[in-house]
Amino acid sequence: MTTRRTLSVALLASVALSACSTVGKINPFHGHENGERTVGNAADARTNRIPVVSLNDQLKVSDTLKGQDFFIPQPAPMTSWPVPGGTPEQSVENVAAAPDFEIAWRRSIGASSTRRKHVTAPPIAAGGRIFVMDGVAEVSAHDAKTGATLWRRNVMPKSRRNHEGWGGGLAWADGKVYATSGFREVVQLDAQTGQIGWRSPTDAPVHAAPTVSGGRVYAVDVNDEMLAFNTTDGTQAWTYQALTEPARILEASSPAVSGETIVSSFASGELVALQAANGSELWNASLSRTSRTNALSEIRDIGGRPIIFQTDVYAISHADVMAAVDFRTGAPRWSIPLSGITTPWAAGDVVYAVDLAGRVACISRESGQIYWIHELDPDGSVKKKKKLQRLYWASPVLASNRLIIANNFGDIVALDPKKGTLLKKLKLGSGDLIGPIAVDGMVYVVTDKAELVAIR
């Protein structure tokens, strides 16, 4: 009932964004005081918080970098995509995939998004199979070449104590698929047959995909609690409670893992590094502003995944902060005034980010200065088609030297990663706010209508 009341407030707020996806339903009315960065140990983590940024600057191209060249690596093949970001670090550079950028096939995967259920799980891939989950927690495996269904398994608990549960996602490791959902469970399935190995309950719904690494499953629930489960039997290893935040986006984030360190983001705008062994806090940074000028800036949620790339962590908050922080210490390296609900993409010398205004920014990883900004709907032609909906763009993927981005109106575009110019545009048939994956030479997209679309 508490969840339903929160959602009702979010829906009644006219400043909430009215897209068909869950990220459009937000609550702008509540937020904590000044956004800060935490240093020190967990005991004093709530009192030694330092602002990442405090000025309300405008996003703009650097006079020094404008028109300058930069390095991105050549496309390299990916044979599996076990978590939403491709690797436990949630970062991949330039994937050799979909050079023709043409739709090869599309297949239905089950129940589509409606007012009461939502398709939120990014596809994952392993062993020549694509694994997906529809709007009612049905997990299915599909042949990566043809899309043919190999098995289906609904992971909704038999008791259905919350029949309106939705959300969640998938991860793969060692021949097993791990599913989280809004039905307050983490479930292990056999990747070959779909048979359930174990179920473990959670106290609150989980709206994002888990991350699996080092024999543990990591997931974050809607109460901003990080949960760690053993992959062998599903027993809970430890938990970590971040600051709770009533005002949040109903988009959720998956943790990033590198070695023995986990980096996770929360609705409070916290970016936290934890020890994988026991969940002890290593550092805590806050991606929010000390000066906020409107109701939406009170929502600090980091809806996209943080990514670990080389020595830094990159993340984007709704509170108008995109930041790079040192992976080892959490010390801020740079920040820019960019508000988003997407996951950044790092490659070579740059990191790409998509903001709420529908702009793509190409940013220097070293300095945070901007090479170029591209307006994805410059003439407003897409917005004019559906005047009552807000246009959103999903997280980008760099594949075969094309920056690929989809939107909730059913378009998917390919941009030149060096210049930001439009190279090609396709119609998906329905909206996508999950973000594509690129594996085995193909790009795969799951749409709001529960269709798996393959792009060659």
What is the domain partition of the chain in residue ranges?
2-455
Query: For position 50, what pLDDT does the model report?
Result: 39
Q: Could you give the CA distance from residue 81 to residue 84 in angstroms, rounded to a whole number? A: 7
Q: Say which residue, 53 or 257, is predicted with more confidence.
A: 257
Pairing of strands 49-50, 103-108: unpaired
Query: For position 380, what pLDDT does the model report?
Result: 79
The mean pLDDT of 28-52, rounded to a whole number, is 36
pTM: 0.87
Split at pLDDT 50, 70, 90, the class of 21 is very low
Is the pLDDT at 134 greater than 60? The verdict is yes
- 2-455 belongs to which homologous superfamily? YVTN repeat-like/Quinoprotein amine dehydrogenase (2.130.10.10)
Neighbours of 239 (CB within 10 A): 13
Percent of the chain at pLDDT exceeding 70: 82
Query: For position 158, what pLDDT does the model report?
Result: 79
Neighbours of 419 (CB within 10 A): 14
Query: For position 389, what pLDDT does the model report?
Result: 78
Tens of pLDDT, residues 138-168:
999 999 999 999 999 999 987 755 556 788 9
The mean pLDDT of 215-219, rounded to a whole number, is 98
**Is residue 336 within 8 Å of residue 59, measured between CB atoms?**
yes
Q: 67-104 as b/e, with b when 16 or more CB fall inside 10 Å? A: eeebebeebeebebbbbbbbbbbbbbbbbbbbeebebb
H or E segment at 397?
strand 397-399
Tokens of 112: 């589509």
Query: For position 236, what pLDDT does the model report?
Result: 97
The mean pLDDT of 229-243, rounded to a whole number, is 97
Query: For position 193, what pLDDT does the model report?
Result: 98
The mean pLDDT of 186-195, rounded to a whole number, is 98
Q: Could you give the CA distance from residue 38 to residue 219 in angstroms, rounded to a whole number? A: 22
Lowest mean pLDDT among 226-235, 321-330, 377-386: 377-386
Split at pLDDT 50, 70, 90, the class of 250 is low
Query: For position 300, what pLDDT does the model report?
Result: 85
The average confidence (pLDDT) of the chain is 86
Split at pLDDT 50, 70, 90, the class of 386 is low
Split at pLDDT 50, 70, 90, the class of 2 is very low
Q: How far from 240 is each of 77, 228, 308, CA to CA, in Å?
A: 36, 9, 20
Q: Could you give the CA distance from residue 183 to residue 180 in angstroms, rounded to a whole number? A: 8
Please give the distance of CA 200 from its chain centroid, rounded to a whole number.
23
Query: For position 252, what pLDDT does the model report?
Result: 76
Conformation bin of residue 374: beta by default, left when phi > 0, alpha when psi is -120 to 50: beta
Q: Say which residue, 298 or 122, is predicted with more confidence.
A: 122
Is the pLDDT at 330 greater than 50? The verdict is yes
The mean pLDDT of 303-309, rounded to a whole number, is 96
Q: Could you give the CA distance from residue 95 to residue 117 in angstroms, rounded to a whole number? A: 32
Query: For position 8, what pLDDT does the model report?
Result: 34
Is the pLDDT at 215 greater than 90? The verdict is yes
Query: For position 288, what pLDDT does the model report?
Result: 82
Dihedral sign for Cα 332, 338, 344, 349, please: negative
Q: List for the chain the helix, strand, coil content (%; round to 5).
A: 5, 40, 55
Q: Could you give the CA distance from residue 228 to residue 168 in angstroms, rounded to a whole number? A: 16
Q: Could you give the CA distance from residue 149 to residue 167 in angstroms, rounded to a whole number? A: 22
Query: For position 167, what pLDDT does the model report?
Result: 86
Query: For position 161, what pLDDT does the model report?
Result: 57
Query: For position 163, what pLDDT does the model report?
Result: 58
**Is residue 350 within 8 Å of residue 322, measured between CB atoms?**
no
